[in-house]
Amino acid sequence: MCGIVGFTGKRQAVPVLLEGLYTLEYRGYDSAGVCLQVKDGLKTIKTKGRIKVLEDKIAGQGEISSTCGIGHTRWATHGAPSDRNSHPHDSMDGRVSLVHNGIIENYLELRSRLTEKGVEFKSDTDTEAVAHLFASHFHGDGVAAMLDTCRELKGSYALAVICADNKGELICTRHDNPLIVGIGEGENMIASDIPAIMGITKNFIVIDDGEVVRVTPDRVEVFDRNGAPVTKEVQTVNWDIEGAQKGGYDHFMIKEIMEQPKAFKDTVALRINEKGLPDLGAEGVTGDIFKNIRNIHIVACGSAYYAGLAGKVALERLARIPVIANVASEFRYSDPIIDKNDMCIVISQSGETADTLAALREAKARGAVTVAVVNVLASSAAREADHVIYTWAGPEIAVATTKAYSAQLAVMYLLALEAARQRGEMSDEQAASYCQSLKEMPSLIEKTLEVSGQIKELAQLYYKQNDAFFIGRGIDYMAAQEGSLKLKEIAYVHSEAYAGGELKHGPISLIEDGTPVIALACDESLYEKQISNIKSVKARGARVILITNGDFDIDPDMCDHVVKLPKCPYFMSASLSVIPAQFLSYYIGVFRGCDIDKPRNLAKSVTVE
């Protein structure tokens, strides 16, 4: 949610800032702006709408010479989307400008105090109070002013400031919101995420909570919350910017759907050893951990939560460990029963999801072993958990996850197999057989991607429908929930997912003549039960799309369309059954004219509660 960029160097800042902002579009936003150091002070340009609107507005002001500036994409929290509520926000005298991601919880108190001192506010935002507060503390030293400012703030934030009097200098800090510094040669950047810096460098440092950074073209200085210098490790991005570009596809989402075989393969390949057994030793997740675990808590949000539900099925059925799956936003407020005998697995594509981070910290505070499953190198969850397992999905730009979800499933299968083996619930021979299936899964995903054309035809038939239902049993119910979420996210279709056996307890009353029902049947032990549920909705006029890997004879009166998938071990079937659902949401969204990669009101990384 929201995006920050900042640049200082010798080249012109405007193209660098705009390019950085474009790479952060996936985070979700409703307005954008920049502030530039110019010859006689600062120049702020901002607007409601897309970055292209901002780019046109900048171009309309003629040539602007500047080699230092900050930029921002805003996702509204305090104050409706508008030009005046857009970032950056300037001090009253126009000598300080600031951008902010997060929420300042005590902004009303700050606003009241500043108003009493004669400050006039021009926006409805919480951020503007921080700009004026910083200006009140600024007496030439930006680091000292930022340290004094942060002592008065409550909430979450990543902040970046430029001052008219300190040429070529960026001052930034963070607390519970991501921020990195890109280290170039004679030029440096700050940003919310790695893609934004890759126009100038692959080298970066991660800013920790409470640290304040002074960035100039030739130097990066980091200080702790007491003002003492801090030495930071410089890290290097291990993927190319091409991975964050469309590569000839119409949308990032369809590109990332097609990249799922590679994401799954890359995540699994180095975690199966020469004996063909799961090996998470490099991540420190060894057998001794699982032998003494009483319960496993899986905590996540959105699609990551549904990947966790699939992991719950695998862990319970294979390893016979009780698993409690929790929505992260509820976990820490439920006074969870979790202690040193438990493991907490948090799943987050970005590793910066606010609710998931809070859950991680709560679990650690109660003594649980914590494992983070994340896609972003050096993210907060990765750094704070006891162990981190990276999903090697590469950059995922579309707001709605596809390939990162597939990689998360791969990790959950590996965890389930290792836990089962170490607890004596599975022999090495059985584990090796399942690991061979994991190695074969990328080719099965490739085969499943061939249903694209069939699903596009079905989308053409049903894209005008405003309601749809997904049903499944066992692992299919977990996959059905992810499929339903995708249809809501991408195509804005009201969609619900139900366990097949629950239909007659209420939801079946919603079935009308012509209602699309997507039925998943990929667990052989539950085929007959699911078929019975399908017949129930069909008898009430539903139009049924059956997604199955079954070899049984399908009664033509049972369903209207059949999507056949390859066979795989039942607990891995979510990796295949989700693909037709992804395609369905994508093509229905296209036919309905939706903004596929940037759905309304959504953000890639939800960094506020």
DSSP state of 25: G
pLDDT band, residue 177 (cuts 50/70/90): confident
pLDDT for 603: 63
Strand duo 219-223 + 229-230: pairing: antiparallel
For residues 107 and 78, is the Cβ–Cβ distance under 8 A? yes
pLDDT band, residue 240 (cuts 50/70/90): low
Residue 170 above 90 pLDDT?
A: yes
pLDDT for 608: 52
Task: Report the alpha-carbon distance of residue 136 to residue 115 in Å, rounded.
Answer: 12
User: Which among 321, 316, 319, 325 has a CA at the least distance from the CA of 298?
Assistant: 325
pLDDT for 556: 65
Residue 88 above 70 pLDDT?
A: yes
pLDDT for 76: 74
Specify the higher pLDDT residue, 158 or 502.
Answer: 158
Q: Give me the catalytic one of 2, 150, 172, 594.
A: 2
Task: Report the alpha-carbon distance of residue 590 to residue 604 in Å, rounded.
Answer: 20
Q: How far apart are the first and last CA of the chain?
A: 11
User: Which among 290, 192, 199 has a CA at the least distance from the CA of 240?
Assistant: 199
Query: Picking from 16-25, 284-293, 335-344, which range would have the lowest pLDDT averaged per residue?
Result: 284-293
pLDDT, tens digit, 9 for 90 and up, residues 547-581: 999 776 677 678 899 999 999 999 999 999 999 99
Strand runs labelled E in 128-234: 155-163, 170-175, 180-183, 188-191, 203-206, 212-216, 219-223, 229-230
pLDDT for 551: 75
Report all structural domains of the chain as residue ranges with CATH numbers, in order of start: 3-237 (3.60.20.10), 246-426 (3.40.50.10490), 450-591 (3.40.50.10490)
Strand runs labelled E in 231-355: 235-236, 295-300, 323-327, 342-348
pLDDT band, residue 354 (cuts 50/70/90): confident
pLDDT band, residue 199 (cuts 50/70/90): confident
User: 578's torsion region: left (phi>0), alpha (psi -120 to 50) or beta?
Assistant: alpha
- Measured at the CA of 110, the angle between CA 104 and CA 114, to 5 degrees, comes to 140
Task: Report the alpha-carbon distance of residue 337 to residue 435 in Å, rounded.
Answer: 33
Query: Picking from 129-143, 302-316, 453-467, 549-563, which range would have the lowest pLDDT averaged per residue?
Result: 549-563
| Helix, strand, coil content of the chain in percent (nearest 5) | 40, 25, 35
Number of other residues whose CB lies within 10 A of the CB of residue 43: 19
Residue 431 above 90 pLDDT?
A: yes
For residues 374 and 381, is the Cβ–Cβ distance under 8 A? yes
Query: Picking from 213-217, 308-312, 328-332, which range would have the lowest pLDDT averaged per residue?
Result: 328-332
Q: Considering Cα of 459, then 460, then 465, then 471, what sign does the dihedral take? A: negative
Element housing 588 (H / E): helix 574-591
pLDDT for 186: 95
User: Which among 85, 220, 202, 96 has a CA at the least distance from the CA of 159?
Assistant: 96
**For 48-69, what is the mean pLDDT?**
93
Structure tokens at 207: 């800013």
Element housing 89 (H / E): strand 89-90
pLDDT for 530: 84
pLDDT for 352: 87
Specify the higher pLDDT residue, 409 or 282.
Answer: 409
Percentage of the chain lying above the pLDDT 90 cut: 72
Q: Which residues contact 555 (CB under 8 A, 6 or more apart)?
A: none
Task: List 70's β-bridge partners, or say none.
Answer: 6, 35
Query: Picking from 350-359, 452-461, 546-555, 593-602, which range would have the lowest pLDDT averaged per residue?
Result: 546-555
Q: Using a cut of 0.85, tell me whether the model's pTM lies above it.
A: no
What's CA 159's distance to the chain center, in Å? Answer: 21
What's CA 338's distance to the chain center, in Å? Answer: 26
Is 207 strand, coil or helix? coil
How many Cα neighbours within 13 Å face the side chain of 5? 30
pLDDT for 534: 85
Task: Report the alpha-carbon distance of residue 445 to residue 132 in Å, rounded.
Answer: 54
pLDDT for 244: 59
pLDDT, tens digit, 9 for 90 and up, residues 251-275: 999 999 999 999 999 999 989 999 9
pLDDT, tens digit, 9 for 90 and up, residues 458-496: 999 999 999 999 999 999 999 999 999 999 999 999 999
Task: Report the alpha-carbon distance of residue 433 to residue 411 in Å, rounded.
Answer: 17
Residue type, 353: T
Determine whether 2 is an active site residue: yes
pLDDT for 607: 52
Structure tokens at 293: 């675990």
pLDDT for 605: 57
**How high is the mean pLDDT of the chain?**
91
Percentage of the chain lying above the pLDDT 70 cut: 96
pLDDT for 131: 96
Strand duo 295-300 + 212-216: pairing: unpaired
Determine whether 559 is an active site residue: no
pLDDT for 128: 94
**For 400-412, what is the mean pLDDT?**
96
Burial of 591 (0-12, 13-18, 19+ CB in 10 A): middle
pLDDT for 553: 66
Task: Report the alpha-carbon distance of residue 322 to residue 28 in Å, rounded.
Answer: 37
Q: Give me the catalytic one of 255, 265, 312, 604.
A: 604
Q: Which of 67-81, 90-104, 497-511 has the highest mean pLDDT?
A: 90-104
